[in-house]
Amino acid sequence: CVSSKAKKTSTKTDLSLLLECVKFQMKCPDSQKQALLTIHSICEKREDNVDLLRELGGVSFLYNLSKSSNVHSDVKETALFTLGTLAEANVYCKNSLCRKDIFIDIAGHLQEDSPLNKKRVSVYLLFVLVAHNKLGQTLAQTTGCLEILMDLFRYCVVPLMLDNLRTVSQNYQLWTSVSSALCGSVNNPQNEEGQRICVAAFPIVKTWLQQISVPSTETFQPICSFIAMTVSNNSYVQESFAACGGLETLTLALLRVVSAAGTSLLSRQLSVVIVKTLSACITDNPHLAAGLAQYGLVYHLFFLLTSSHFDPDDRLSVLLAIGECTEASGETAQ
């Protein structure tokens, strides 16, 4: 116990010295950044160390630093990134940052003229604050953050060919981060109002699914995660996705990749991603599930099960999808 106390004291001293370094190295942004990144390393996934930083006033200091007009832009971005790390590691820190003024600041960071990296770290902080947090989800809606995320999701990849997203790494990373933040804004816990807001993205999502000529998990996973979280347990949103042609397009995308699932690891991975998304689109909605019969979906799902390369969880996902489809067909026939 003595050694534990000594370690705690030593860590607190280190954090205090690092904060002092940031405060008194205003003319040396590289030193400030290095100090902030060291704070990040000490506190990452360490709830107890974040508590020590909070006791030193470090969380408030970093937030004020991220807003200061007297600080180099790289330092402000690093401060935002570090705040995300602290909030992710410590629920008390996360709750203390769930304030309207902070979300308004984040919305400001996400405006069109902001540097790409500033947008990325701001989206990361926003994701952390909304994840598993009803208050954070509500603040994202009321401060306009959710609408801005929607715009970024729909339009930040428009100048790019989706097939080449991986080659434009920074834009791709921003886009995937935005997708994750949107997922956290509408689900876990479920947020029906947020889900309805995200319906506006369905037409362009449908277009993406049609246009991706060389499917990959890098492009499909963020799209499918967004669809699944948005439609989950919400019959109105499920119907909206089907009404815009999204459900049909997703089904056809599955049929394109499933034929090679027996020999191609990529096709198997994509098939499972799409199957899980389809399940979310039809769960507890027999009308929509029965409509998939025209595509011979159950046959293709059984074909997937013949692959000996599936792990048990993936096999279960396929079985659940088969169950949804066959149960719906039975109900429709009665």
CA separation for the pair 145, 123 (Å, rounded): 9
φ, ψ for residue 57, nearest 5 deg:
75, 15
Q: Could you tell me which CATH number the domain at 200-333 has?
A: 1.25.10.10
CB 258 within 8 A of CB 303: yes
**pLDDT tens digits, one per residue of 3-33:** 788 889 999 999 999 999 999 998 999 999 9
| Residue labelled with tokens 């899980």 | 276
**What pTM was computed for the model?**
0.92
Task: Answer whether residue 167 shows pLDDT above 50.
Answer: no
**pLDDT tens digits, one per residue of 51-109:** 999 999 999 999 999 999 999 999 999 999 999 999 999 999 999 999 999 999 999 99
**pLDDT tens digits, one per residue of 117-129:** 999 999 999 999 9
Q: Give the residue extent of every domain in the chain.
A: 200-333
Task: Answer whether residue 163 shows pLDDT above 60.
Answer: no
| Residue labelled with tokens 């029906």 | 192
